[in-house]
Structure 1
């Protein structure tokens, strides 16, 4: 069992002692009232994270002028907001955690339809995130913004917060001043490096003067903007040195601008990718440094600390999916941790203007509503289907005191999520399956594998309630020639049950088709480790090595609608499309396959019939609900529920949330 020594050591930020090195990173939740009043929902959310073992929690707040704050986040511009803020800090302190308030200002990243005013920025440069044109702040408005944010700092100090954070990441207002991409000013707030950092420098200095020497100030930075022509690592290192000199007590390292062309938060980003940025900052400053982004494992976090690459670790999404992960890690209960998969359902919600949620934890923001309480009456329940919907149902039912038997017809739990975890960059889904499988064992759920539960099998159990989570089956479209030997299904390709050779055409460009295309394309490309070896030993030049890692099979994807991956979340889709292009996968939209021949696939596109040569044709035309057992059980049992894809094929989040709701109602 791994012993986490460094992660649970106390540390001081300024004069404030944090009980461990675990920081809950700032997140825009959207849980407050429309005017920014802190409510029960907001307090309960953070109470559970403090109770779960967080050492420091950073809360996104804002002083609402020029459209600066995030929607439905705590407001600071009036003392009427103090009681709610005080309730929050009291609740967090009640569980031994400290809490900082981040002073958000979106600048040009704000959207006018939400705030009703034109966004502001360092200069009138169109936002690459929203597409809107901001107006340039006047010098008087810059001074006013600094004063307002300093007033906000004084407000949170009065409300009992333990510190304040200035945000210089994400492409928000401070970034817009620092970056030559967005700062075209010719006055003292623009021009050279010193001019461009004047705004954050004066902001930190003004806050320090307002809150005094003993109130910690955190500066959250983007270790590298990853914007072509923007601030790179060496620039940011100079910025944080200036912020330390101005009065910052800790550097909270984040990554990039939201509109940066590099994937930073998606599942295909390797764990710990950006620790090097924290390490680089730590080598330049004498104050503590927080490392974050794609660190979802306490053992990895321990290693980062042990190797002196950072002083604290920031966890954002891991606190959404499992508020108790710090306490579980401290006890060595790693198998009970529900690890973040970086599926980005939370970010998809945020960027759609909705309150945050989590695909695998429906209790986010609904902690009281989804509290697991004992059932009024213990029932005998049969759950059919060992996918994530079935296992989540069984988990919650068992915790509520019901007697549960789960049937799975295959030799493996996990259902469709096992397939979803096979394509490159989607492996984190395995952790979701592992967690639920571990819970079946820990809770002593009676699991009957390789058993197809029909009406007779279920009747033998004499259950009070039956829950069907039987999933969905692949669709084979009625295309002439689909029965040829060179036609295989995407599921069989992913499970290495079908041979793929020569030129490949995939019929269907949804998530399964797109990810199968990437799976096939990457399979025959050179392993990156081999390429690095050959390049480092000068066997081949680096550019050729990179090309070899991108040279795979000739793959074409045909899709009927006008978008490839239309069912992939908005914050993930662009990264998958980008990788398909990198690997040379050809994508044809508005294309309907009409015939499969020995030569290839005939399809209709823009009123013309065309042929794509193919040696292998892969079907990825979606799935349809498995309703056979539902129909067979009609009228047989007093209480029957359906969850997941057997209701309607959807996403993992729908299966989990549906299962969680039904299991709490039985």
Structure 2
């Protein structure tokens, strides 16, 4: 079934061994001076070892003033070459080809990152960064053109197999190409040919310095998805001009910072949401085309190649989630592939905070060497209490080290609250990670006991060496009159199917859980009112997923009351103080409580001063996100032979 993905193809004169591509994704793993680190090199080496045919590195600044993040790569001077040469040497051990993406952030950066004002074609702030940029002079434009060419030559010297010019996502080159950001009236602004002058001069300069046979790619936003920005009509006209200028491959993406959800889409967005743009580009160019955007399954990638949509498939966040995806695909081990679930917790949100990226489903991301599991010198009996994602991760890690592992879960299924998170519309892929964990535990021989409460007596009878407490959290019961009436149910029970809400529903609590529960019920045709004491709902949600959740709530006519406090619950409705006005009464058949949770530490408190070592992880320590619980679970699995506890790390 998978054959096109493993067929070699040339970019220029360079043969790429397969069609799997790791696209550029800033990691913030480099030094502040742009040089690479052991962490950065290990990150890419893991993906080369995993079988990716082509790696295109993260955006590499051609100028200190072009940095978009504090710890991103740079090749703006010769002193940086040696650190990059160490990267290419390690990647080439696995026959993977590696391109360097050369980049200038333009206005999509901040003075905080560079200690100087951003630059742009016109003095118009980025709608997201909102910092006034310096308008480039013609002389400064010419200087930047030279810097792109110089960086490309350094990349060739450092052993890269090619370069990709970053002309997308609203950065400097894209800013010149688009009327959304370019309001110049000189030779670099106005008509399409003038707006293309800057990228064409860069291509010419790069080509003159690296020679005719060195592959040069170009990444383009085929549709910027902003008012006044480029659309597919514009880029269809641009692409042949760029090809004629000497590029060897076209990498088709979309969007800019004002439309980030289009090129880094959350789980609510369909797979391959931008692939139609790649198909349009293939109609007008003769060079290979790379397609990208929420492609996390090799079967979907194969279908794009088989259908002639693209020539290569970039699977960015999929490569973060599982660096071995190509190798597992080649071995038909599809159930062992750890899929990206589009949560954005560890990648995009960490990057927005200018911090090194992480991955919810892959706790080893960025720590590929230091978090390698080694066989245990002494086999121990490990007992895990709680079958949520943190507990299962701990069980898997301990079993991989060779320990004898048992897991006890009091309910009839594994997954905990993470399973509940997969129930609302647009989040079904969260269940794929639970499936992967269950498959891994089965493969590693973890003994799983469902419908079993781990009592103190049960634990003592098993005579464990290590006990890992991952009991998670319980829903909070608010101090509201009527909270214990029969028409009152918890969001956890609604999502798990234990309780069914009637037609007219009031959901109390507008955090992410309450908002998603409201959306879940509205999609069943219920009449839903969501009540939140704060000025906004779902503020604990990542911006991308939140945007789509709010749109869905509006589409399903969910009534949202913010700045509202519940006074009392009755058998037939809820009394609410809203916006400082007198109480209003909202009729309801069912009232759903989604007012947070509290750590379940009852068992942990009973296990002090025992002969075995006890670790507490995840929500049993403190209510947080799954990212932390899974990372703590993995660390605990590594530390079962030590005297440390994750709680004390």
Structure-2-length-normalised TM-score? 0.95
Q: Deviations over 1:13-37 (max 9, x none)?
A: 0011111000101011111111111
- TM superposition shift of 1:325: 1.1
Which secondary structure does the structure 2 equivalent of 1:259 belong to? helix
Which secondary structure does the structure 1 equivalent of 2:549 belong to? helix
Matched, 1:67 2:56: no
Mapped contact 2:68–2:110 kept (Cα < 8 A): no
Cα distance in 1, alignment partners of residues 49 and 272 from structure 2:
26
Q: Deviations over 1:358-382 (max 9, x none)?
A: 1121211111221111123111111
Cα distance in 1, alignment partners of residues 231 and 556 from structure 2:
27
Cα distance in 2, alignment partners of residues 561 and 115 from structure 1:
36
Cα distance in 2, alignment partners of residues 149 and 522 from structure 1:
51
Q: Deviations over 1:152-201 (max 9, x none)?
A: 00110111101111112111112211111211111111111111111111
Which secondary structure does the structure 2 equivalent of 1:210 belong to? helix
Match of 1:628 among 574, 584, 602: 602
- Cα 1:492–1:183 shift into 2, 3 Å: same
Cα distance in 1, alignment partners of residues 161 and 70 from structure 2:
24
Q: Which runs of 5+ in 2 are unaligned?
A: 641-649
Show the 5 A alignment for 1:553-632.
Answer: 553-615=526-588, 616-632=590-606
Cα distance in 1, alignment partners of residues 445 and 90 from structure 2:
35
Show the 5 A alignment for 1:286-435.
Answer: 286-345=286-345, 346-435=347-436
Q: Which moved more, 1:590-599 or 1:167-176?
A: 590-599
Match of 1:57 among 55, 58, 63: 55
Cα distance in 2, alignment partners of residues 617 and 263 from structure 1:
36
- 2:3 aligns with 5
Q: Deviations over 1:352-401 (max 9, x none)?
A: 11011111212111112211111231111111111111111110001101
Q: Deviations over 1:291-339 (max 9, x none)?
A: 1110000111011111111100001111111111111111001111110
Q: Which moved more, 1:468-477 or 1:479-488?
A: 479-488
Mapped contact 2:68–2:108 kept (Cα < 8 A): no
Which secondary structure does the structure 2 equivalent of 1:107 belong to? coil
Q: Which runs of 5+ in 1 are unaligned?
A: 525-552
Show the 5 A alignment for 1:112-261.
Answer: 112-260=111-259
Matched, 1:452 2:446: no
Q: Deviations over 1:595-632 (max 9, x none)?
A: 11245322334544422413132110111111111122
Q: Which moved more, 1:350-359 or 1:257-266?
A: 257-266
Cα distance in 2, alignment partners of residues 285 and 54 from structure 1:
25
Which secondary structure does the structure 1 equivalent of 2:259 belong to? coil
Q: Which moved more, 1:86-95 or 1:125-134?
A: 125-134
- 2:24 aligns with 26
Cα distance in 2, alignment partners of residues 26 and 210 from structure 1:
23
Cα distance in 2, alignment partners of residues 407 and 555 from structure 1:
37
Q: Which moved more, 1:612-621 or 1:9-18?
A: 612-621
Mapped contact 1:474–1:623 kept (Cα < 8 A): yes
- 2:646 aligns with none
- TM superposition shift of 1:65: 4.1
- 1:84 aligns with 83
Mapped contact 1:253–1:291 kept (Cα < 8 A): yes
Q: Which moved more, 1:607-616 or 1:311-320?
A: 607-616
- 1:473 aligns with 474
- TM superposition shift of 1:69: 4.9
Structure-1-length-normalised TM-score? 0.93
Mapped contact 1:470–1:626 kept (Cα < 8 A): yes
- 1:658 aligns with 632
Cα distance in 2, alignment partners of residues 153 and 262 from structure 1:
30
Mapped contact 1:504–1:555 kept (Cα < 8 A): yes
Aligned length: 636
Mapped contact 1:522–1:583 kept (Cα < 8 A): yes
Cα distance in 2, alignment partners of residues 507 and 561 from structure 1:
12
Which secondary structure does the structure 1 equivalent of 2:41 belong to? helix
Cα distance in 2, alignment partners of residues 397 and 134 from structure 1:
52
Mapped contact 1:62–1:70 kept (Cα < 8 A): no
Cα distance in 2, alignment partners of residues 497 and 84 from structure 1:
57
Cα distance in 2, alignment partners of residues 163 and 183 from structure 1:
29
Q: Deviations over 1:93-138 (max 9, x none)?
A: 1111011011111111011121111111111112112111212111
Mapped contact 2:29–2:356 kept (Cα < 8 A): yes
Cα distance in 2, alignment partners of residues 599 and 379 from structure 1:
56
Mapped contact 1:68–1:110 kept (Cα < 8 A): yes
Q: Deviations over 1:556-603 (max 9, x none)?
A: 222223331122123432332233233333333332212112453223
Mapped contact 1:465–1:637 kept (Cα < 8 A): no
Cα distance in 1, alignment partners of residues 524 and 16 from structure 2:
47
Mapped contact 1:61–1:70 kept (Cα < 8 A): no
Which secondary structure does the structure 2 equivalent of 1:656 belong to? helix
Mapped contact 1:348–1:571 kept (Cα < 8 A): no
Match of 2:613 among 618, 633, 639: 639
Q: Deviations over 1:254-281 (max 9, x none)?
A: 1211212865511101112221111111
Cα distance in 1, alignment partners of residues 233 and 558 from structure 2:
35
Cα distance in 2, alignment partners of residues 270 and 61 from structure 1:
30
Cα distance in 2, alignment partners of residues 658 and 153 from structure 1:
41
